[in-house]
Amino acid sequence: MNTMSDHYERVKIELQQMKAMESEAAANEEQLSPASVSSVPADASFAARRDLSRSSINGRSRSKSRSKADGHERQVNGKLMSDLTPQKTDYSLEKVQSCASNVHNIKGTLSLLKGKTATNGHVEACQRQTEGKVDGSKVAKKRRAVTVDTSKAKTSLEALKMSIRQLKWKEFPIGRRTACDIYWHGVSFHDNENIVSGQVNKFPGMIEMLRKINLSRAVRTMQELFPEEYNFYPRSWILPEEYQLFSTQIRLLKDNDSTLKPTFIVKPDSGSQGDGIYLIRDPADLRAISGSQIKQAVVQEYIQKPLLIDKLKFDIRLYVLVRSLEPLEIYIAKEGLSRFCTEPYQEPSQKNLSHVFMHLTNYSLNVHSGNFVHSDSCSTGSKRTFSSVLYRIASKGVDIKKVWSDIIALVIKTVIALVPELKVYYQADIPPGKPGPTCFQILGFDILLMKNLKPVLLEVNANPSMRIEHEQEVSPGVYEYVPSPVDEEVKVGVIRDTLRLMDPAHRKQHVTLNTGGGSPEDAIAAETRGDEKEGLMDSLPTLCLKQVFPKYTKQFNNLRVVERIAAIFLRFLGVKGTMRLGPTSFRTFIRNCKLSNSSFSMASVDILYIDITRRWAGMLPDSREAGMCLQAFIEAFFYLAARRFKAVPLREQVVLLLEVCEGALEGQSHSEKPRPHRSQPTQSSAPKTFSSPAVTRRHHLRQQPMQLSAKANTEN
Ligand code: ADP
């Protein structure tokens, strides 16, 4: 006991020292303060400070269990994580078992730690800094600290602060008069307006794209082209517009097979955390529940046979970093969370349809069940690490290497489905020629494993919770935020390593190296090695984020067909900040791509434009802008492709029409001045559009048949 309280005393002193150092540093920096910026009222900055001090009070209560979730645990899991790395994976059972025994040891080891490290190595880092100031100054001499504006970070603030401290970067909690390198927003790209440089942790339009209806639409477009590749998303119908279709299809299905007893899950379009979700067994139930006015929602086939652990249904939350859209760069966190239901699972029946604790895995719901188990261990309780789940299933003989590679494929394919429209949003907010900023974003993928181990995509969150504490009733009616070691373990790693990857120094290096194949991971690894040699490293763990794209470009690039359609759309949209194509631009597209002829007159073109645009306007009731949206343009493109190349399947029709369009535009580009193209300041690795001659592309296609149904092997 004595040693433990000694440890807390030491931690307290170290924290105070650190705070003193921070305020000293802050004094030298031009923090946005009432003194420096007159537009900020004095009490606003006071409020901000009060918030900060409040968070440090939280921090104090957190330190208790931080001393449990410490650097040692991180290292243990760091090893586990690196064992999950797809490229040099060793998924043999022995390996996983040895990792997992480490996981099981965590609790015991942690209780023995007594004053070694705390807060993911953070306090240890501080201690070193205060003991021998040499390290800090050497690092400072080495290069300027990266600056992060955290004023809009909201609920990710605690995890973000920890990450910044671990990196020894500079935080601007109430903003800065001059530009910061990185802006961390809690909600959307627009949290701070008028940012013209640096990097923002949100893409414009991501929230909109990830609403349930839009995600379903984007995946469905891909399903039309690549049905086998996109069968990881449950069959879905968009309400209210597809209610009749849903009703008819299910009636036909049941008529054909009377033993079929499907269940469906209804999800409100903009809902989250399980809000407003319910299960039905027949389309008629939907009418009975919602009356004649069916709200905007997605109704989806309910996966009846999920994989169970301890008889409980669970899902996986994986963090995915989209580092850039152009070129497309995707990273996956090697560690994630598994969220468990709190009532044993039974296949849906009329009796149990309303049992939310049995069917819905949302933390926000299950935390209210009396059966919810908060645990400091990563492998027990109602929220666990994904690696501990992998261990459990590996011990039953499951090939977790295959599970992991299927998950990677699901993530890459989903991002590929989202990119076309994201590029349209991006260009509307940051048109080519505008100085910046550039964007990146951490997404939360919710994945369900079926009993047969096939991963199914449930949804993607634009703002995954980065909270590292949870509310607990400490005495009757009294709630307090207490630290959650499992959340801290996973989320601080994800934020810190996202920052490391977005470090402007690495970005620059990446641009320079891009032609030579260097990756930011390589740059970070090289720097780490250098620092270790010089004894400067505060032993930051190896990156917990693993690049999967462009790494697996070969296996997935053939899926980026819609992105090529979007490139044509963007070209005719111009750079005026709009997202809709007007009738004249549509005509120009047809003319420039030489798509009209005697059997398809310009009058037919106008009719096509009006028909499709009107229908889409009805489906997107809240949209303020008039004209043809990307989805409508894609529909028109599919129509034109089917009209021109009748005898072949849709995807071939579309690829053939793309060739025609790109070929025609390519010819025109040669006679035009080169257009400024700056969506992100790195070289393009997007599927070839206007940059290479159509002839070369045709040759390329012949050489590499489309491999539409071939299973992607993400391990090579
Ligand atoms: P929300 O954004 O409200 O959390 P989700 O789509 O994530 O909505 O659904 C909530 C929960 O419902 C999921 O965490 C999962 O447990 C369950 N769920 C969602 N879709 C399905 C499905 N198609 N089959 C089985 N369970 C599902």
Closest ligand 1 atom, residue 364 Cα = 4
Q: Where are the alpha helices (DSSP H) in 514-559?
A: 520-534, 553-556
How far apart are the two ends of the chain, measured CA to CA in Å? 52
Question: Which range has the worst mean pLDDT, 423-432, 469-478, 488-497?
Answer: 469-478
Q: Give the pLDDT score at 376.
A: 84
Identify which of 314, 360, 365 to mutate to test ligand 1's pocket (most ligand atoms within 8 A of the CB): 360
Q: Does residue 10 surpass a pLDDT of 80?
A: no
Instruction: Give the distance (Å) from ligand 1 centre to CA of residue 352.
Output: 16
Report residue 164 as tokens: 């910044």
Report how far residue 636's alpha carbon sits from residue 627's, in angstroms, rounded to the nearest whole number: 13
Q: Give the pLDDT score at 509.
A: 61
Q: Cβ contacts of residue 477 below 8 Å, gap of 6+?
A: none
Instruction: Give the distance (Å) from ligand 1 centre to CA of residue 364.
Output: 12
Query: Which range in 103-117, 281-295, 641-655 is most confidently predicted, on average pLDDT?
Result: 641-655
Q: Give the pLDDT score at 419.
A: 98
Query: Which range in 132-141, 308-317, 377-386, 697-706 is most confidently predicted, on average pLDDT?
Result: 308-317
Q: Does residue 55 surpass a pLDDT of 60?
A: no
Instruction: Give the distance (Å) from ligand 1 centre to CA of residue 104.
Output: 30
Report how far residue 325's alpha carbon sits from residue 200's, in angstroms, rounded to the nearest whole number: 13
Instruction: Give the distance (Å) from ligand 1 centre to CA of residue 344.
Output: 17
Sign of the dihedral through C-alpha 404, 407, 411, 416:
positive
Closest ligand 1 atom, residue 271 Cα = 3
Q: Cβ contacts of residue 676 below 8 Å, gap of 6+?
A: 432, 433
**pLDDT confidence band for 128 (50 / 70 / 90):** very low
Instruction: Give the distance (Å) from ligand 1 centre to CA of residue 207.
Output: 18
Take atom 11 of ligand 1 and give the residue whose Cα is closest: 360
Q: Give the pLDDT score at 472.
A: 80
Closest ligand 1 atom, residue 301 Cα = 23
Q: Does residue 679 surpass a pLDDT of 70?
A: no
> Considering the chain, what percentage of its residues have pLDDT values greater than 90?
60
Instruction: Give the distance (Å) from ligand 1 centre to CA of residue 78.
Output: 30
Q: Does residue 46 surpass a pLDDT of 60?
A: no
Instruction: Give the distance (Å) from ligand 1 centre to CA of residue 272.
Output: 9
Q: Give the pLDDT score at 458.
A: 98
**pLDDT confidence band for 293 (50 / 70 / 90):** confident
Q: Give the pLDDT score at 437.
A: 96
Take atom 10 of ligand 1 and give the residue whose Cα is closest: 274
Report residue 217 as tokens: 């639409």
Closest ligand 1 atom, residue 361 Cα = 16
Closest ligand 1 atom, residue 277 Cα = 3
Question: Which range has the worst mean pLDDT, 9-23, 280-294, 555-569?
Answer: 9-23
Q: What is the 3-state secondary structure (H, E, C) of 327-395?
A: CCEEEEECCCEEEECCCCCCCCCCCCCCCHHHHCCCHHHHCCCCCCCCCCCCCCCCEEEHHHHHHHHHC
**pLDDT confidence band for 279 (50 / 70 / 90):** very high
CA 30 to centroid of chain Cα atoms: 33
Report how far residue 290's alpha carbon sits from residue 388's, in angstroms, rounded to the nearest whole number: 41
Q: Which residue has the higher pLDDT, 562 or 128?
A: 562
Identify which of 232, 277, 363, 383 to mutate to test ligand 1's pocket (most ligand atoms within 8 A of the CB): 277
Q: Give the pLDDT score at 515.
A: 45
**pLDDT confidence band for 618 (50 / 70 / 90):** confident
Instruction: Give the distance (Å) from ligand 1 centre to CA of residue 275.
Output: 10
Question: Which range has the worst mean pLDDT, 127-136, 140-149, 236-245, 544-553?
Answer: 127-136
User: Quick one: which of 685, 681, 409 has its CA closest to 563?
Assistant: 685
Residue keyed to tokens 């719901």? 365
Instruction: Give the distance (Å) from ligand 1 centre to CA of residue 443.
Output: 16
Take atom 2 of ligand 1 and give the residue whose Cα is closest: 272
Take atom 9 of ligand 1 and give the residue whose Cα is closest: 274
**pLDDT confidence band for 328 (50 / 70 / 90):** very high
CA 185 to centroid of chain Cα atoms: 14
Instruction: Give the distance (Å) from ligand 1 centre to CA of residue 213.
Output: 14
Question: Which range has the worst mean pLDDT, 219-228, 361-370, 374-383?
Answer: 374-383
Q: Give the pLDDT score at 158.
A: 96
Take atom 17 of ligand 1 and give the residue whose Cα is closest: 360
For the chain, the farthest-separated pair of C-alpha atoms sits apart, in whole angstroms, at: 92
Q: Does residue 552 surpass a pLDDT of 50?
A: yes
Identify which of 231, 267, 458 to mutate to test ligand 1's pocket (most ligand atoms within 8 A of the CB): 458
Q: Give the pLDDT score at 473.
A: 77
Identify which of 207, 303, 362, 450 to mutate to test ligand 1's pocket (most ligand atoms within 8 A of the CB): 362
Q: What is the 3-state secondary structure (H, E, C) of 383-435?
A: EEEHHHHHHHHHCCCCCHHHHHHHHHHHHHHHHHHHHHHHHHHHHHHCCCCCC
Take atom 23 of ligand 1 and give the residue whose Cα is closest: 302
Buried b (16+ CB within 10 A) or exposed e, 338-352: bbbbbbebeebeeee
Sign of the dihedral through C-alpha 212, 213, 214, 220:
positive
**pLDDT confidence band for 511 (50 / 70 / 90):** low
Question: Which range has the worst mean pLDDT, 109-113, 630-634, 649-653?
Answer: 109-113
Q: Does residue 43 surpass a pLDDT of 90?
A: no
Judge residue 287's burial from the number of C-beta atoms within 10 Å of its C-beta, 0-12 exposed, 13-18 middle, 19 or more buried.
middle
State the average pLDDT for the chain.
78
Judge residue 511's burial from the number of C-beta atoms within 10 Å of its C-beta, 0-12 exposed, 13-18 middle, 19 or more buried.
middle
Q: Does residue 132 surpass a pLDDT of 50?
A: no
Instruction: Give the distance (Å) from ligand 1 centre to CA of residue 313.
Output: 11
Write the DSSP string, 628-677: B-HHHHHHHHHHHHHHHSTTS-HHHHHHHHHHHHHHHHHHHHHHSPPPP-
Instruction: Give the distance (Å) from ligand 1 centre to CA of residue 269.
Output: 12
Closest ligand 1 atom, residue 234 Cα = 23
Q: Judge contact between 147 and 172, C-beta under 8 A.
A: yes
User: Quick one: which of 417, 389, 416, 419 has its CA closest to 404?
Assistant: 389
**pLDDT confidence band for 35 (50 / 70 / 90):** very low
Closest ligand 1 atom, residue 461 Cα = 2
Instruction: Give the distance (Å) from ligand 1 centre to CA of residue 267.
Output: 8
Model-level pTM greater than 0.85? no
Question: Which range has the worst mean pLDDT, 65-79, 419-433, 514-528, 590-604?
Answer: 65-79
User: What is residue 300's three-state secondary structure?
Assistant: strand
β-pairing verdict for 199-200 and 438-439? parallel
| HSE-up of residue 608 (Cα within 13 Å, Cβ side) | 22
Helix, strand, coil tally for the chain in percent (to 5) = 50, 15, 35
Buried b (16+ CB within 10 A) or exposed e, 197-235: ebbbbbbbbbbebbbbbbbbbbbbbbbbbbeebbebbbe
Mean pLDDT across 178-188? 97
Instruction: Give the distance (Å) from ligand 1 centre to CA of residue 188.
Output: 23
Identify which of 215, 219, 265 to mutate to test ligand 1's pocket (most ligand atoms within 8 A of the CB): 265
Mean pLDDT across 104-129? 30
> Considering the chain, what percentage of its residues have pLDDT values greater than 70?
70
Question: Which range has the worst mean pLDDT, 88-97, 112-121, 261-270, 280-289?
Answer: 112-121
Q: Give the pLDDT score at 672.
A: 62
Q: Judge contact between 279 and 263, C-beta under 8 A.
A: yes
**pLDDT confidence band for 160 (50 / 70 / 90):** very high
Q: Which amino acid is at 259?
A: T
Q: Does residue 104 surpass a pLDDT of 90?
A: no
Question: Which range has the worst mean pLDDT, 3-12, 175-184, 205-214?
Answer: 3-12
Instruction: Give the distance (Å) from ligand 1 centre to CA of residue 669.
Output: 47
Instruction: Give the distance (Å) from ligand 1 centre to CA of residue 321.
Output: 22
Q: Does residue 546 surpass a pLDDT of 60?
A: yes
Q: Using a 6 Å CB cutoff, which residues line ligand 1?
A: 234, 265, 267, 271-275, 277, 300, 302-303, 315, 360-362, 446, 448, 458-459
**pLDDT confidence band for 533 (50 / 70 / 90):** low
Instruction: Give the distance (Å) from ligand 1 centre to CA of residue 458.
Output: 6
Closest ligand 1 atom, residue 446 Cα = 7
Kindly report, residue by residue over 681-712, the tens digit of the pLDDT: 333 444 643 333 332 322 332 223 222 223 33
Closest ligand 1 atom, residue 268 Cα = 3
CA 199 to centroid of chain Cα atoms: 16
